[in-house]
Amino acid sequence: MVTKDDATTAWIRRYHPSGGSTVRLICFPHAGGSASFFHPVSARFSPDADVVALQYPGRQDRRREPCIEDIGVLADLLVEEIQALSDKPTVFFGHSMGAVLAFETAFRLEQQGVKRPHSLIASGRRAPSTRRDEQVHKRDANGIISELRLLNGTDSAVFGDDELLRMALPAIRGDYRAIETYTCEPGRKVRCPITVLTGDADPKTTLEEAIAWRPHTEGWFQVKVFPGGHFFLADHQAEVNNEIARELEAARSAGQSAPAGR
User: Strand 24-28 relative to strand 119-123: parallel, antiparallel, unpaired?
Assistant: unpaired
Report how many helices (DSSP H) and strands (DSSP E) the chain contains, helices first.
8, 7
Q: Which of 18, 21, 96, 123 is catalytic?
A: 96
Angle between the N-to-C axes of helices 162-180 and 71-83, in degrees from 0 to 180, rounded to the nearest 10 = 100
State how far the Cα of 145 lies from the Cα of 150, in Å rounded to an integer. Answer: 9
What would the 3-class secondary structure string for 195-245 be?
A: EEEEECCCCCCCHHHHHCCHHHECCCEEEEEECCCCCHHHCCHHHHHHHHH
| Catalytic site includes residue 129 | no
State how far the Cα of 221 lies from the Cα of 22, in Å rounded to an integer. Answer: 24
First to last CA, the chain: 21
Q: What is the sign, positive or negative, of the torsion defined by CA atoms of 165, 170, 173, 178?
A: negative
What contacts 5, CB < 8 A, 6 or more positions away? 17, 18, 19, 20, 21, 50, 85, 86
Question: What letter would DSSP give residue 184?
Answer: P
State how far the Cα of 87 lies from the Cα of 158, in Å rounded to an integer. Answer: 38
State how far the Cα of 204 lies from the Cα of 191, in Å rounded to an integer. Answer: 26
By annotation, the residues acting in catalysis are 96
